[in-house]
Structure 1
Amino acid sequence: MLTRLPAAPWTARSDLAMLVDALGPDNLRWVGGAVRDTLLEQPVKDVDAATPLLPDDVLARLATAGIRAVPTGIAHGTVTAVLPDGPVEITTLRRDVATDGRHATIAFASEWRDDAARRDFTINALYADPRTLEISDWFDGLADLAQRRVRFIGDPVQRIREDHLRILRYYRFQARFGAELDEAAEAACAELAPTLKGLSRERVAMELLNLLALPDPAATLARMDAAGVLPIALPERSAEGIALLHQLIGWEQAHAMVPDPLRRLAALLPADPRPAEQAAARLRLSTAQRKRLALAAGRQASDRDDPRALAYRLGRAEALDRLALTGGDPSPLAGWDVPAFPLKGGAIIARGITAGPDVARLLRTVEDRWIDRRFPGPDATAALLDEVLAADRRS
């Protein structure tokens, strides 16, 4: 088993060496995702560090070294060092003093183990020395990582009672890293599922969408449903949602589509805009997300008939949602730009029609025929107008 962090591109960053020099190698350890993902040979997005130095001392030392620092979470001990190759969050060692399931009162600590003990999972409590890359592991996180097991530090029930969001975080990490299930963690999540009701809707939405963005979270969502977690996190879900999510993931893979968490959320909901709008409002999604989710929920089998007409009427992304959720063929949209309707109301008025509702009615009729005839150019559209006007006069 590895006890030293393998060399990776980020460990050789010259700006990180500047940071280590500024704080002192004994006062800094890499921690969390960067350590975990390097051990798993996965790409590292963000680098985080822990330090026994107090925030004011961190700020002072960075200023002396000429490194710009932003007190992004100073109340919780976090300072962000703005470096040429990417920011680094530096957080003073902490321990929890009191928790209520949503917020924690913390105190700064001086021992690395105290800081590790307050973290959620063993695989997130691995610290690496910046000079030797030696790993500090107090809770067998390396063994869990080797087994692809997501395990709470300490008693899972207690850890979830400290922060109810850890239920959703557990499932997200299990979907991403897990192969071997931890029975104690699964049981604790099921037992304490009702505590999710006390969380802010934004936090629940963030975790759900992050989970749905993973390559294949369907099996995890099925376990969440069986454990009673999903019904609380997403009460609007449909009975067929998990099965449709499986199908959607297969469709994405077959068509080389990047996973889209909002589209996958739509798969979990009924084919009815009303519950989709309710879910979007409850999760406090953005206006654009709410509209897209409601449009996706309006899906029907006929959406597969004419993908380009669907894209013109709804929008490209919205049409892809409908096609994905109904198993349609997206290839007609590849490399195709949605055209603009080449006719304005003025052209109808110029033909002697009085401005008013008749102009709008005739314009809609011409547009429908234009769509049916696969979006012809201006001359053909003018001919369509002639057809419509002639038929209208006969009627």
Structure 2
Amino acid sequence: MTVLPPEAEWRHRPGMDGLLKALDVTDGKARFVGGAVRDGLLGLPVNDVDIATTIVPHDVLDRLNAAGIKAVPTGIDHGTITAVLADGPVEITTLRQDVSTDGRRATIAYTENWRDDAARRDFTINALYADPLTGEISDYFGGIADLDARRLRFIGDASARIAEDHLRILRYFRFLARYGDNELDSCAYDACVAAANSLMALSRERIADELLKLLVVAVPVHALTLMVEGGILQPVLPEVDMAGVVRVEALIRREAQAGLTGAALRRLAALLPHDPTLADNVGARLKLSNKARKRLIVALEPAPEAETPRALAYRVGLEGAIDRLLLAQDQSLSALDLLEGWTPPVLPIGGGALIARGLPAGPDVAKALQAVQRRWVAEDFPDAERVGAIADQIVSKFQRARQ
């Protein structure tokens, strides 16, 4: 009998016992499900905890309110209530079975049959349920064996499962990158390739979410290669090709050498051609936030020649400078040492100080201040005393020019 490790920290979060009691766990009405069970068995960190229950959503809401647990009806129409605990939210979803699907959304009916609920999930390793009291695993489709073998399989026929929800194509490659490092399921891969055009029916936000989750996986290169070879992204991101995958692979090596955590947006920048305008267009197409789009643009903008790492960081921010330095294959990683523990400073002088030195108020003040700033940056951000000397020189130059 397979059981969850009893010492798993996430099983003992503050408020979890009260939540499980409210859901009648002693009567078998609630079980942990999905990612927490899967990663718990692998000994991986667990962030999100999901609970499946036979209790219908409105009753779940009533039970949590009666127990004094904050409850948010985040997806009540689809059977999901979110319980807000001290260490984070827990999603509670009533057992469901599909009545109809169209590839984007499903019409569901509630059930009390655990196997029926498992049958509507995507992969065998995601259809594992754990008794919160004993940790005993309920495995209806061989998920534990697949997890042990690092094998990724759809539940049932892959084409049928993809037809139910087109996003499963992208999920397949994300989970393949993270868990499926054994022999590729050719039937599943072929089904994804055959259905690639159906990704066009999905919202760009859902596509972006899955793609960024894939890119941040420790080793996504094999999955990305399969996606490019199979034309998976061609309908929605035709800009992505094998050259982009090679750039991602090189970036991952540089991130590791620099001891830095992989960043999804930085890797997306590597995946795209080195063109900031195109990157902005892709960001807009994927409905990324303005901040995310700006990061892509900054990462791919051509850098001025002879710009020092600190000058770059002052101009575009630390995050942008690190992205740029990591993406530049011809740039030594030692340049990153100059940014470690460094915060871009503020110019220690303002326009008033220039006026006090005899520069008449007006447009020349802004121009002179910009000249002071350029010299300050070029000299690697010297102290206020040196800035004062620079200001004296610049003001004198402007005064002579007015004579």
Distance 1:82 1:351, change over 3 A: closer
Identify which of 30, 33, 42 aligns with 2:32.
30
Deviations 1:231-290 (A, max 9, x none): 334333366321211111111111111111111111112222110110111111111111
Range that drifts further, 365-374 or 31-40: 365-374
Residues of 2 paired with 1:138 and 1:205: CA distance? 31
Computed over aligned residues only, the root mean square deviation of the Cα atoms, in angstroms, reads: 2.2
- Whether contact under 8 Å (2:358, 2:395) holds in the other structure is no
1:102-141 residue pairs with structure 2 within 5 A? Answer: 102-141=104-143
Identify which of 325, 341, 351 aligns with 1:345.
351
How many angstroms does 1:122 deviate by?
0.5
Identify which of 88, 92, 98 aligns with 1:96.
98
5+ unaligned residues in a row in structure 2: which ranges?
none
Residue matched to 1:4: 3
How many angstroms does 1:219 deviate by?
2.2
How many angstroms does 1:95 deviate by?
0.7
Distance 1:62 1:394, change over 3 A: closer
Residues of 2 paired with 1:254 and 1:159: CA distance? 40
Residue matched to 2:158: 156
Range that drifts further, 164-173 or 337-346: 337-346
- Whether contact under 8 Å (2:351, 2:365) holds in the other structure is yes
Deviations 1:149-205 (A, max 9, x none): 111111111111111111111111111111122111111111111111111111111
Give the structure-2-normalised TM-score: 0.91
1:1-395 residue pairs with structure 2 within 5 A? Answer: 3-7=2-6, 8-13=8-13, 15-24=15-24, 25=26, 26-180=28-182, 181-237=184-240, 240-300=243-303, 302=305, 306-327=308-329, 328=331, 329-391=335-397, 393=400
Residues of 2 paired with 1:54 and 1:335: CA distance? 52
Residues of 2 paired with 1:250 and 1:268: CA distance? 14
Residues of 1 paired with 2:305 and 2:179: CA distance? 39
Q: How many matched pairs?
A: 393
Range that drifts further, 236-245 or 178-187: 236-245
Distance 1:271 1:94, change over 3 A: same
- Whether contact under 8 Å (1:299, 1:322) holds in the other structure is no
Secondary structure of 1:232's partner?
coil
Distance 1:216 1:356, change over 3 A: farther
Distance 1:268 1:58, change over 3 A: same
Secondary structure of 2:235's partner?
helix
Give the structure-1-normalised TM-score: 0.92
Secondary structure of 1:72's partner?
strand
- Whether contact under 8 Å (1:81, 1:87) holds in the other structure is yes
Residues of 2 paired with 1:162 and 1:287: CA distance? 32
Range that drifts further, 168-177 or 82-91: 82-91
Distance 1:9 1:381, change over 3 A: closer
Range that drifts further, 246-255 or 359-368: 359-368
Residues of 1 paired with 2:367 and 2:50: CA distance? 60
- Which amino acid is the alignment partner of residue 59 of structure 2? D
Range that drifts further, 274-283 or 176-185: 176-185
How many angstroms does 1:135 deviate by?
1.4
- Whether contact under 8 Å (1:237, 1:268) holds in the other structure is yes
Residues of 2 paired with 1:13 and 1:342: CA distance? 48
How many angstroms does 1:37 deviate by?
0.6
Q: Give the % identical residues.
A: 54
How many angstroms does 1:62 deviate by?
3.2
5+ unaligned residues in a row in structure 1: which ranges?
none
Range that drifts further, 6-15 or 208-217: 6-15
How many angstroms does 1:221 deviate by?
1.4
- Whether contact under 8 Å (2:228, 2:241) holds in the other structure is no
